[in-house]
């Protein structure tokens, strides 16, 4: 399949910004995991506090260098997560979970499902940038396997 550098680059830049990536050199851990409690549980009937991120823009990278960085720990709706992104040039070559703290097995599943899905999306992709995903209504369980949960997890 023909690659689409423009799209990949914008995806990489977008993800990097979202993940607060500071790719100044190989394997730069940026944030120690926090120990704060997650803000919500899926069984809650009350709205939980909105979570948000304030990422800083990525710094420039040397072309061809394999760089990886761990984003700051983010309050995801189901816990605290940090994600490790590996970039070659302007292409993301891997996305993994660096640290994950969740209150229960459900939340654990959310993150563990979402990241492989996003990884697949990013890597097989030459992915088009998307803001959201529409599909047949999923249950709370089905959400685990949805691309929307991957986008939410990474605050894309």
Partner 1 sequence: MTLTEDAIVHIEPVMGTVVSFRVFPGACSDADARAAVQSACLRLHELDRFFSIWNADSPMSLFRSGQLGLEEVPPEIPLVIELCRQARALSKGWFDPWAMPGGMDPTGLVKGWAVEQALAVLQAAGVEAAMVNGGGDIALLGCPPEGGAWRIGIRHPWRADALACVLEPNAAVATSGCYERGRHLLNPRSGRRPVSTASATITGASLSLVDALATALAVAGDEVLELVRSLDGYEAYLIRADGSEHATAGMVFARHGQDHNTSLTPGRPPGEMPSPGTRVRLRSFTVD
Interface residues with partner 1 (CB under 8 A) are: 1, 4, 6-7, 10, 13-14, 17-18, 40, 42-55, 57, 77-78, 117, 120-121, 124-140, 142-143, 145-149, 151-152, 155
Please report, in angstroms and rounded to a whole number, the separation of the first and last CA atoms in the chain: 25
Q: Which is nearer to partner 1, 67 or 117 (CB)?
A: 117
Shortest distance (Å) from residue 45 CB to partner 1: 6
Question: Which helix H or strand E contains 29, and what residues bound it?
Answer: strand 28-29
8-state DSSP, 19: T
Shortest distance (Å) from residue 96 CB to partner 1: 16
Sign of the alpha-carbon torsion through 19, 131, 119, 87: negative
Among candidate residues 71, 84, 65, 82, the one with its CA nearest the CA of residue 26: 65
Q: Which is nearer to partner 1, 31 or 147 (CB)?
A: 147
Shortest distance (Å) from residue 147 CB to partner 1: 7
Among candidate residues 86, 107, 78, 101, the one with its CA nearest the CA of residue 19: 86
Q: Which is nearer to partner 1, 64 or 132 (CB)?
A: 132
Q: Which is nearer to partner 1, 3 or 27 (CB)?
A: 3
Shortest distance (Å) from residue 78 CB to partner 1: 8
Query: How many beta carbons lie within 10 A of that of residue 4, not counting itself?
Result: 14
- Within 61-102, strands assigned E span 66-70, 74-76, 79-88, 91-101
Shortest distance (Å) from residue 9 CB to partner 1: 10
Q: Which is nearer to partner 1, 24 or 120 (CB)?
A: 120
């Amino acid at each position: 399949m023909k690659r689409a550098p423009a799209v990949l680059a914008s995806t990489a830049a977008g993800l990097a910004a979202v993940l607060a990536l500071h790719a100044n050199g190989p394997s730069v851990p940026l944030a120690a995991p926090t120990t704060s409690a997650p803000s919500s549980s899926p069984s809650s009937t009350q709205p939980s506090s909105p979570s948000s991120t304030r990422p800083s823009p990525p710094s420039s990278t040397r072309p061809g260098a394999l760089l990886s960085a761990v984003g700051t720990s983010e309050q995801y709706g189901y816990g605290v997560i940090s994600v490790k992104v590996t970039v070659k040039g302007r292409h993301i070559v891997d996305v993994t979970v660096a640290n994950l703290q969740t209150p229960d097995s459900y939340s654990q599943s959310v993150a563990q499902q979402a990241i492989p899905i996003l990884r697949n999306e990013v890597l097989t992709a030459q992915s088009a940038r998307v803001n959201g995903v529409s599909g047949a209504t999923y249950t709370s369980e089905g959400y685990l396997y949805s691309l929307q949960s991957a986008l939410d997890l990474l605050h894309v």
